């Protein structure tokens, strides 16, 4: 972190004879700096207060859950999170995409799920899905999950299920109805989903068996490959049953679940709600929302340096960032309004075919992602994605739903002049992996329906831009989301006895 100039000057004034002269040099700028900072601090405090930012969201977790976290349940969740036994082909699990080396988010621009090389990190390879894996850190506070917000708490509060949790079909609103006594938090519901995702975890034989033919067997006869139909609803439940069969067939899992759920101890099968509760409990322990800005808001004005403070003023002021990346009310201080917007992200797509990509993209050339429209079917919702919650974004190796940018500066600059950014976009220069540099969808229609908030360029001086970057990158980062803190969560072994995935960037025992 940058040091105050006056301080380093002070340090160089070692000789006693020079001390008095130094003091003159040091104290004058230091004094006015202090005064400036005082004004800056007051301005920022006022803005944060008005925006509803208290810096106390992390400590509200247990109050909002209305109970204490259960460390044993969380630890079971951690084992499941890392155990490839949850995937029907033993080659992927949550951590394969939500990696401890990048804040439990992706190591890739577009996620690689099943049929990967068992490596998690820059050298992961295998067919790509459609989107980048967001971090699970702090998701406990998200009222809407996913890039297009398709899993949501209808009350607008992830801790309040009085109106139920809405999921796309086949779950709809029926699986997690209002006031369910067990599935009370959105993440518990969400954890029912990934294991059924063919491209993410399950693999392509679905329920036909756990060994045998895979992805490439579902050849469309024209040289392409198609996943099983998603919307039919026939497959989610059978896949869950298959995963449960594995857990129930494992003595160690039965013992651990049994210690937490008395009915399992007395012979009942492990069910998927138990799986979901364990995973969610682990996710609840992964709340890292004590960044410099939080400390500042709680009164520690030294927690941020002045460049970050100035950047914050731009973020909440002339940059208009907080219009979408909001903090008050239902935003739960997560820097997202949890609404979907079209901000014109360049549409890169992987090559499609065996071993390259396994999701058919949208649009006539199958190289687009329609975002919210996929859920609503309304073409006005085309290209709309959820305002990304920005905490700990500095730890991401790529940005936006498709990782079209790999430098946070570029992601921020994109917002300031979207048309300029899109028209000059070059995937290779943006740093994305070579297999995603071949297909770039036409941007015309996307730019026509751009969110009006970003319709006109926002002009910032170089210094203002640097301040803004330093705010987003450093002042929203909680050091506990770094890999030095998350890699140690990789278990030494998992109950299935299957080998762990290999996490690059985490030195595994
Ligand atoms: C193939 C990679 C992959 C695997 C494996 C995977 N996820 Fe994800 N996860 C994603 C992607 C991609 C998204 C965003 C998908 C979208 O919006 O369309 C996501 C979204 C999420 C979200 C919502 C985050 C947010 O910001 O809204 C949570 C929570 C989550 N996953 C948890 C899990 C859990 C728990 C598991 C294991 C049971 C898991 N994931 C397995 C790729 C993966
Ligand atoms: C019109 C709403 C809107 C405004 C205004 C806005 N953003 Fe965003 N921002 C978004 C959306 C939507 C995304 C995700 C887009 C996607 O992935 O397709 C996003 C993504 C980002 C990301 C990437 C995060 C990630 O996880 O990939 C950063 C960084 C970011 N915004 C910073 C800013 C800054 C800084 C400003 C102010 C200059 C700003 N945004 C203004 C809506 C907005």
Q: Please give, one letter per residue, the 3-state secondary structure of 10-79.
A: HHHCCCHHHHHHHHHHHHHHHHHHHHHHHHHHHHHHHHHHHHCCCCCCHHHHHHHHCCCCCHHHHHHHHH
| Residues 94 and 209 grouped into a single domain | yes
In a domain, 379, yes or no: yes
In a domain, 33, yes or no: no
Confidence category of residue 207, pLDDT binned at 50, 70, 90: very low
Structure token pair of residue 323 = 């219009």
Residue 122 in contact with residue 132, Cβ under 8 Å? no
Confidence category of residue 238, pLDDT binned at 50, 70, 90: confident
Structure token pair of residue 380 = 């006005």
Please give the residue range of the domain that contains residue 370: 292-477
| Residues 165 and 256 grouped into a single domain | yes
Q: Which of 87-91, 213-217, 337-341 has the lowest mean pLDDT?
A: 213-217
pLDDT, tens digit (0-9, with 9 covering 90-100), for 171-201 = 777 778 899 999 999 999 988 776 665 555 5
- Using DSSP's 3-state secondary structure scheme, residue 254 falls into helix
DSSP 253: H
The Cβ-side half-sphere exposure at 317, using a 13 Å CA radius, reads: 18
Number of other residues whose CB lies within 10 A of the CB of residue 204: 22
Q: How far is 20 from 16, CA to CA, in rounded Å?
A: 8
| Residues 402 and 462 grouped into a single domain | yes
Distance 408 CA to ligand 1 centre (A): 21
Place of tokens 């907080």: 322
Closest CA to 435 of 360, 363, 376, 355: 355
| Residues 250 and 357 grouped into a single domain | no
Residue 129 in contact with residue 165, Cβ under 8 Å? no
In a domain, 261, yes or no: yes
Task: State pTM to two decimals.
Answer: 0.89
Q: How far is 356 from 344, CA to CA, in rounded Å?
A: 25
Specify which residues 484 forms β-bridges with.
none
Helix 71-82 vs helix 272-284: angle between axes, to the nearest 10 degrees?
100
pLDDT, tens digit (0-9, with 9 covering 90-100), for 146-175 = 999 989 999 999 999 999 999 877 777 777
CATH number, domain with residue 226:
1.10.760.10
- Using DSSP's 3-state secondary structure scheme, residue 145 falls into strand
The verdict on whether omega for the bond into residue 462 sits within 30 degrees of 0, i.e. cis, is no
pLDDT tops 90 at residue 472: yes
Residue 256 in contact with residue 79, Cβ under 8 Å? yes
| Protein residues with CB under 6 Å of any ligand 1 atom | 92, 94, 96-98, 111, 113, 129, 131, 133-134, 136, 139, 142, 145-147, 187, 190-191, 194-195, 200-201, 279
pLDDT at 90: 83
Strands 165-166 and 348-349 turn out to be unpaired
Distance 46 CA to ligand 1 centre (A): 36
| Residues 284 and 391 grouped into a single domain | no
Residue 255 in contact with residue 500, Cβ under 8 Å? no
The Cβ-side half-sphere exposure at 130, using a 13 Å CA radius, reads: 18
Number of other residues whose CB lies within 10 A of the CB of residue 38: 11
Strands 151-153 and 165-166 turn out to be antiparallel
Structure token pair of residue 503 = 């996490």
DSSP 289: -
| Residues 271 and 338 grouped into a single domain | no
Q: How far is 374 from 232, CA to CA, in rounded Å?
A: 15
How many structural domains compose the chain?
A: 2
Task: Name the region of 206 (left: φ>0; alpha: ψ -120 to 50; beta: rest).
Answer: left
pLDDT at 198: 59
In a domain, 323, yes or no: yes
Distance 252 CA to ligand 2 centre (A): 44
Residue with CA closest to ligand 2 atom 30: 412
| Residues 486 and 473 grouped into a single domain | no
| Residues 174 and 319 grouped into a single domain | no
Distance 43 CA to ligand 2 centre (A): 24
Residue 304 in contact with residue 472, Cβ under 8 Å? no
Residue 381 in contact with residue 371, Cβ under 8 Å? yes
Q: How far is CA 354 from CA 214, 221, 228, 329, 465, in A?
A: 11, 13, 15, 46, 43
Distance 55 CA to ligand 1 centre (A): 26
| Residues 467 and 496 grouped into a single domain | no
Q: How far is 115 from 21, CA to CA, in rounded Å?
A: 68
Distance 132 CA to ligand 1 centre (A): 9
User: What atom of ligand 1 comes closest to residue 201's alpha carbon?
Assistant: 5
| Residues 234 and 131 grouped into a single domain | yes
In a domain, 7, yes or no: no
pLDDT at 509: 53
Residue 290 in contact with residue 58, Cβ under 8 Å? yes
User: What atom of ligand 1 comes closest to residue 279's alpha carbon?
Assistant: 35
Hey, which of 94, 99, 334, 357 would you mutate to test ligand 1's pocket, going by the most ligand atoms within 8 Å of its Cβ? 94
pLDDT, tens digit (0-9, with 9 covering 90-100), for 440-470 = 999 999 999 999 999 999 999 999 999 999 9
| Residues 119 and 176 grouped into a single domain | yes
Place of tokens 């030494």: 492
Q: How far is 90 from 451, CA to CA, in rounded Å?
A: 42
* Averaged pLDDT score across all residues of the chain: 86
Ligand index nearest the alpha carbon of residue 325? 2
Q: Which of 104-108, 226-230, 363-367, 407-411 has the lowest mean pLDDT?
A: 226-230
Residue with CA closest to ligand 2 atom 37: 321
| Residues 441 and 489 grouped into a single domain | no
Contacts of 418 (CB under 8 A, 6+ apart): 343, 344, 447, 450, 454
pLDDT tops 60 at residue 72: yes
């Amino acid at each position: 972190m940058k040091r105050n100039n006056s301080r380093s000057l002070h340090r160089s004034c070692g000789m006693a004879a020079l001390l008095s002269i130094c003091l003159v040099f040091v104290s004058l700028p230091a004094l006015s700096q202090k005064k400036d900072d005082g004004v800056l601090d007051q301005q920022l405090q006022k803005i944060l207060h008005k925006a509803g930012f208290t810096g106390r969201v992390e400590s509200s977790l247990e109050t909002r859950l209305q109970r204490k976290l259960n460390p044993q349940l969380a630890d079971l969740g951690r084992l499941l999170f890392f155990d490839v036994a949850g995937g029907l082909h033993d080659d992927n699990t949550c951590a394969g995409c939500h990696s401890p080396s990048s804040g439990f988010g992706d190591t890739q621009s577009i996620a690689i799920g099943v049929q990967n090389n068992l490596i998690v990190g820059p050298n992961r390879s295998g067919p790509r899905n459609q989107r980048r894996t967001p971090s699970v850190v702090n998701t406990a506070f998200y009222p809407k999950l996913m890039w297009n917000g398709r899993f949501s708490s209808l009350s607008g509060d992830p801790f309040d299920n009085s109106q139920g949790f809405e999921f796309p079909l086949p779950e709809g609103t029926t699986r997690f109805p209002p006031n369910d006594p067990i599935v009370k938090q959105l993440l518990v519901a969400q954890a029912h989903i990934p294991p059924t995702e063919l491209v993410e975890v399950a693999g392509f034989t679905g329920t036909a068996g756990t060994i045998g033919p895979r992805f490439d067997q579902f050849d469309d006869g024209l040289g392409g490959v198609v996943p099983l139909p998603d919307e039919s609803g026939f497959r989610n439940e059978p896949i869950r049953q298959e995963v449960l069969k594995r857990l129930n067939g494992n003595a160690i899992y039965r013992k651990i679940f049994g210690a937490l759920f008395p009915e399992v101890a007395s012979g009942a099968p492990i069910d998927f709600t138990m799986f979901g509760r364990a995973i969610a409990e682990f996710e609840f322990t992964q709340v890292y929302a004590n960044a410099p800005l939080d400390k500042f808001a709680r009164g520690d004005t030294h927690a941020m340096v002045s460049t970050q403070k100035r950047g914050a003023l731009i973020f909440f002021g002339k940059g208009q960032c907080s219009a979408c990346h909001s903090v008050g009310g239902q935003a739960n201080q997560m820097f997202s309004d949890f609404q979907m917007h079209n901000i014109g992200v360049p549409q890169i797509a992987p090559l499609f075919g065996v071993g390259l990509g396994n999701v058919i993209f949208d649009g006539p050339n199958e190289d687009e992602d329609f975002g919210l429209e996929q859920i609503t079917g309304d073409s006005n919702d085309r290209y709309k994605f959820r305002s990304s919650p920005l905490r700990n974004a500095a730890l991401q190796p790529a940005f936006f739903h498709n990782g079209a940018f790999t430098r946070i500066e570029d992601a921020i600059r994109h917002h300031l002049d979207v048309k300029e950014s899109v028209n000059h976009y070059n995937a290779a220069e943006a740093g994305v992996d070579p297999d995603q540099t071949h297909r770039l969808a036409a941007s015309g229609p996307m730019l026509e329906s751009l969110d009006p908030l970003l319709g006109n360029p926002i002009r910032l001086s170089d210094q203002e831009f640097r301040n803004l970057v330093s705010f987003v990158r450093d002042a929203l980062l909680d050091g506990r989301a770094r890999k030095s803190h998350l890699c140690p969560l990789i278990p030494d072994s998992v109950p299935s006895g299957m080998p762990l995935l290999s996490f690059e960037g985490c030195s595994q025992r």
